[in-house]
Structure 1
């Protein structure tokens, strides 16, 4: 019995460690690095974005366009790359906003999952706070699946607006159906937990 308890505790600690490491990794890669890139001149992978184009092309930005945003070009076929040479602050925000938003949402979700796992460790499955945590997870999943892709469409449109490549770039809205469906499942689970919490409280009141 003691061995089982020891093994269960080890599994719980390992789960918390994995979630914590994932949280730190996402916070560093998708929150801290984008914030640093926005704060200072960015280069390399932060100057480009994957886009769709209607034909094979590479079009430099016209200097007389009236939009002081630096050279903008697109190269590739169908799945192409939008290149922003020497992006200014606004362009860096637009380039990194979808990644940053997704990173913040994933961090919030993982924090809720971590607290949820901690209550499971002490066998307090129907803690009242777990209903709220499941709702937070459901909302963040929905935002990741539905809102972040919309941000990608909007920011891409703003990046190419007023440039020669505007008519070339095609930005479809890529709804993450699987993530949205998972959000609905977690939302349903939160309702089940809410009813379980109420039943648990009523049962304790009878004892």
Structure 2
């Protein structure tokens, strides 16, 4: 007597367990969890770098590193008749006051709030895309807020950081160290976040157009 055995087809060639062809560009639940974990990791790194590390250094009595910008003397270059530019370096304050420690923490708190806001807005946008609703009107608002955070928020954070740096150095006797003209800082505006914010604002307008088109299509059905 002949016997036959049947076996279920094994998914292959980019197909899932049901035999359907897998859409590699679909933002499914696994991708949502992966993005959420990645964004959470970014916020966690910010907490460690901007909050925990300074606080632990404060508790251990470590010197306070303050960015500084001034002229420096390099005897070897001077002896060879070679000039050089001013330099960016860190001053290490061995006995900073409580006020200086607190001022050092403020920029980190501001940057952490910005990173948390960016992570939250990105996650909310991607979750609606995962539900198949990329042109949800709420996404236009979220992208606009994201653009504002990147452009205005990072610029404000930069000036907060510069202000705190000058406040810390105001209590340092720089003249006794031969530094004239008071504290100075190199001007490095946050160009990358600003440009990224502009691109995000343009994407928001594209989503707005998509939302209007989606409304028109729904009205025809």
> Taking structure 1 as the reference length, what is the TM-score of the superposition?
0.74
Backbone CA RMSD of aligned residues? 2.9
Aligned to 1:204: 218
1:142 offset after TM fit, Å?
A: 1.3
Work out which of the two has the higher radius of gyration on C-alpha atoms and give 1 or 2: 2
Residue 77 of structure 2: aligned partner: none
Relative to structure 1, the CA distance from residue 162 to residue 12 in structure 2 (aligned partners, 3 Å threshold; closer, same or farther) is: closer
Aligned residue for 1:194? 208
Q: 2: distance between equivalents of 1:163 and 1:87? A: 9
Deviations 1:52-89, CA, capped at 9 Å, x for gaps: 122359xxxxxxxxxxxxxxxxxxx7122122333333
* Residue of structure 2 equivalent to 1:29: 48
Matches within 5 A, 1:53-68: 53-56=70-73
How far apart, in 2, do the equivalents of 1:22 and 1:135 lie?
Answer: 22
Q: In structure 2, which of residues 69, 72, 75 is the aligned counterpart of residue 52 of structure 1?
A: 69
Which is richer in helix? 1
- CA separation of 1:117 and 1:174: change in aligned 2, threshold 3 A: same
- Give the CA deviation at 1:193: 1.4
Instruction: Tell me if the contact between 2:43 and 2:112 (Cα under 8 Å) persists in the aligned partners.
Output: no
Matches within 5 A, 1:86-125: 86-125=95-134
**Residues 190 and 29 from structure 1, CA distance in 2 versus in 1: closer, same or farther, beyond 3 angstroms?**
same
For 1:43 and 1:132, the matched residues in 2 are separated by: 45
Report if the CA contact (8 A) 1:106-1:140 is conserved: no
CA distance in 2, matches of 1:131, 1:113: 12
Structure 1 position 150 matched with structure 2 position 156: no
> Once the two structures are superposed, what CA deviation does each residue of 1:5-63 show, in whole Å capped at 9, x if it has no partner?
5984234432333223223332x2255426x829x746437x21222122359xxxxxx
Aligned-residue offset at 1:3: 5.5
Q: In 2, Cα distance between the equivalents of 1:177 and 1:6?
A: 34
- How many residue pairs get aligned? The number is 184
Matched, 1:78 2:96: no
Query: Which ranges of structure 2 fall in alignment gaps of 5 or more residues?
Result: 1-18, 75-85, 176-180
The runs of 5 or more residues in structure 1 that have no matched partner are 58-76
Separation in 1, partners of 2:136, 2:60:
45
